[in-house]
Amino acid sequence: MSLKLKKGVNNQSAYNLRDPNLDYEAAHTLSIIVDNESGVLARVIGLFSGRGYNIDSLTVAEVDPNGHRSRITIVTTGTPKVVNQIKAQLNRMVPVHEVTDLTLKGKAVQRELAIFKVVGNGNQRVESLRLADVFRAKVVDSTLKSFTFELTGNSEKIDAFAELMTPLGLKEIARTGIVALLRGDNSS
Amino acid sequence: MTQANKITGAEIVIKALIDQGVDTVFGYPGGAILPIYDELFQQKKIKHILVRHEQAATHAAEGYARSTGKIGVVFVTSGPGATNSVTGLTDALMDSVPIVVISGQVPTFMIGNDAFQEADTVGITRPCTKHNWLVKDTNKLAEIIHKAFEVAGSGRPGPVLVDVPKDVQFASGRYTKKNEIKTDFIKKEPSIDVKMLDEAINRLELAERPIIYSGGGVINSGQSAVNLLRNLVAGTNFPVTSTLMGLGSYPASGKNWLGMLGMHGTYEANMSMHDCDFMLCIGARFDDRITGRIDAFSPNSYKVHIDIDPSSINKNITVEAPLIGDVSKILSMLTARWKERGSKVNKKKLSAWWKSINNWKGVQSLGYENSSSVIKPQYAVQRLEELTKSYNRFVSTEVGQHQMWAAQFMGFEEPNRWMTSGGLGTMGYGFPASIGIQIAHPTSLVINVAGEASWLMNMQELGTAVQYRLPVKQFILNNERLGMVRQWQELLHGERYSHSWSDALPDFVKLAEAYGIKGIRCEDPARLDDSIREMIDYPGPVIFDCLVEKHENCFPMIPSGKAHNEMILGEQTEENSISDDGAVLV
């Protein structure tokens, strides 16, 4: 008997159950709590480069000054097997206290902050300001021929805004990379 | 705290080591570690072994650690001292050997200035240690050293490094006792998945073609793990094989022993791995030398994997039942539950399985053609085994063909008797390791089975052996070749022997004499036994130059990129055995 189901009929469909060992790559957002000690970032990055894992995005800052803990948020791409390896390898490190795979754990709020410098005159300048308003970007600096916008959102939103600004005189972008937390009242 | 309660950083280092029960340190002094050596000079509890090269200090510490179950300790100076320790640290990381390296560093205020003998030691050793520390405050020194021992010895053991700048050694600080440190950094073992354990036992009870595949983790877990393994084998009558690192966990004379598995393992061990329907992997990690071609590895078996390191699970081979934790803890749970349920096995099918295994044994895959005119290396190792096995004996090896022959032809009845560089494959490991072993076991017979090329890599350690009157026996299978390289060139590179011969070899007997020790040369199979006896009976270090057949290949062999059931057994079957795909593998 063959199953005659169309791919993706609904999310509960058995058709969508995939073997976890199938070779397909997906992006995973990992949230890692580490001791804020010297060299800890080098250890984490060294693990990724040394074992040939990808880093698509990386952010790090101290989140608990009293406990000297930092949160590292890494977006990585890999097959489920590789992502499991990455988590196991991270967990093995002495200064690593917690590794949460936000992608597996459920819905997460993911945000990125970016600053754009757009240089132009006349209509271009007006248009950039109008679009910034649509995107709810803030003007944080300005000269007579430039705007510096601050924009927060998910990565797609930042990408979309950057694309729109390019013909309008986009000169420079600075992006923070993704920070993320689990939705709901549970801590990750 | 008053000044009176404080002691110098150098004193703290020595005090902390004594607190940790350290009695032996291998090392080499230099500018940045002089304050610690000064303290060492003024005490009696710790014995220091002066090596001739820092790499040798790390391997000696490994030999010491692996033959005793204790933690090996090394002192090196900054810069070149630290960089020379990198190979030993990596070796210990790959083979899960607990060692603590304490390195001197330039003073904190000079770090980053390219000072004399400065190197970024923690940066360089970060990927080759379990963890490392740069100590910037003397008050934290004792705590960090105690932590270092805890990290090295706990969980899956491994190497650590503590980098101590010279000003931190001179400055005064508070001493923290071993039992006063916080232990929140120790990784908790996950609780055992009882459902998984029960499912594994179900499969064990029903298994028609079971095999136990044990590794170095059994030995690292200690004598209780070894006993549990032996009892399990006896209780189930399952066949058992072991990795290079696991030799000795099950006795070689045991009736269920199939010999080592893997690239140069026995036919019966590899065929059993391939054809089994139930595999119990205990403290091994499915290394590429073991598995051969991954997608053809034991295709029809239910695999149970006991390992203390979660990152070993599903790394190379996907297993059905991972059981994460210390081998002895999990084995005792598994055995207890299995006994509770009536100690059942599938006896009828099991005897059929043993029948096939005995047929494979009949192939006699370790057979070789002996000669009466030239010493065959296999014969040399066989005779060495025969003449030394009744002794209280420890064996180390270098890396290459001789290492595989030693693994094939020497039998180990107990754990911690066999020291070899498995994961990293470090030529030059064996001689310094034999020194570390002899230091730990002064009255035992310690033999390093070596090849001449490997042995030359750390031959400067003759000085150490002589200085400390260590009667280590260097049994060199001299084929004037880099034998394993030559073998691969023959099989894979059209017999183009690119730089794989040992030219300009020393006269090993004269070399021994130059150091005031004994040298023995033997090239006649008829005189081999007498010469080996002479080596054993000599009460000091011996270099045994055993001139062997120069073109012998090590068989059986699973060629790169092939499966367990595609072994080549000898010269006649080897043609076209390695495909182009396999040739790119190491």
Judged by a CB distance cut-off of 8 A, whether residue B183 touches chain A is no
Dig out the tokens for B208 from the structure. Answer: 């028609």
Residues of B in contact with A89 (CB under 8 A): 311
So what's the pLDDT on residue A1?
A: 37
Dig out the tokens for B403 from the structure. Answer: 């290492």
Residues of B in contact with A84 (CB under 8 A): 314
Cα separation values, A107 from A26, A29, A110, A182, B337, Å: 16, 11, 9, 6, 40
**The model's pTM:** 0.94
**Closest B-chain CA to A82:** B315
Per the annotation, the verdict on B117 as an active-site residue is: yes
Average pLDDT over residues A68-79: 96
So what's the pLDDT on residue A10?
A: 45
- Please judge whether A85 and B309 are an interchain contact, meaning their C-beta atoms are less than 8 angstroms apart: no
The ipTM of this complex is 0.91
Residues of B in contact with A50 (CB under 8 A): 127
* The Cα angle at residue B474 between residues B469 and B479, in degrees rounded to 5: 155
Dig out the tokens for B103 from the structure. Answer: 């390195």
Distance of CA B525 to the CA centre of its chain: 31
Q: CA-to-CA distance for B433 and B416, rounded, in angstroms?
A: 13
Give the residue among B140, B107, B182, B154 at the shortest CA–CA distance from B13: B140
Choose, from B130, B166, B329, B518, the residue flagged as catalytic. Answer: B166
Interface mutation vs chain A, best among B314, B316, B319, B320, most A CBs within 10 Å? B314
- Please judge whether B134 and A39 are an interchain contact, meaning their C-beta atoms are less than 8 angstroms apart: yes
Contact A97, A34 (CB under 8 A): yes
Q: How far is B312 from chain A (nearest CA, A)?
A: 8
Cα separation values, B338 from A79, B200, B283, B350, Å: 36, 10, 19, 17
Q: For residue B455, which amino acid is it?
A: W
Q: In chain A, which residues touch B (CB < 8 A)?
A: 21, 38-39, 42-43, 46, 50, 81, 84-85, 88-89, 91-95
pLDDT, mean over chain A: 90
- Please judge whether A93 and B310 are an interchain contact, meaning their C-beta atoms are less than 8 angstroms apart: no
So what's the pLDDT on residue B572?
A: 61
So what's the pLDDT on residue B3?
A: 60
So what's the pLDDT on residue A20?
A: 52
Q: Parallel, antiparallel, or unpaired for β B99-105 and B72-76?
A: parallel
List of chain B residues with pLDDT < 70: 1-4, 572-583, 586
Judged by a CB distance cut-off of 8 A, whether residue B523 touches chain A is no
Average pLDDT over residues A106-133: 95
Cross-strand bridge partners of residue B306: B282, B323
Binned at pLDDT 50, 70 and 90, residue A3 comes out as very low
Choose, from B54, B268, B452, B549, the residue flagged as catalytic. Answer: B54
Cα separation values, B258 from B249, B268, B402, Å: 13, 6, 20
Cross-strand bridge partners of residue A108: A182
- Please judge whether B314 and A38 are an interchain contact, meaning their C-beta atoms are less than 8 angstroms apart: no
Judged by a CB distance cut-off of 8 A, whether residue B130 touches chain A is yes
> Looking at the partner chain, which of A43, A89, A95 has a beta carbon nearest the beta carbon of B311?
A89
So what's the pLDDT on residue B585?
A: 73
Interface mutation vs chain A, best among B94, B146, B311, B317, most A CBs within 10 Å? B311
Q: Count CA atoms closer than 13 A to B396's CA, side-chain side.
A: 33
Of residues B305 and A188, the one with the higher pLDDT is B305
Per the annotation, the verdict on B149 as an active-site residue is: no
Alpha helices in B190-266 (DSSP H): 194-206, 216-221, 223-236
So what's the pLDDT on residue B570?
A: 85
Dig out the tokens for B574 from the structure. Answer: 């080897």
Radius of gyration of chain B from its Cα atoms, rounded to whole angstroms: 25
Per the annotation, the verdict on B557 as an active-site residue is: no
Q: CA-to-CA distance for B499 and B503, rounded, in angstroms?
A: 9
**Closest B-chain CA to A49:** B127
pLDDT, mean over chain B: 96
Judged by a CB distance cut-off of 8 A, whether residue B190 touches chain A is no
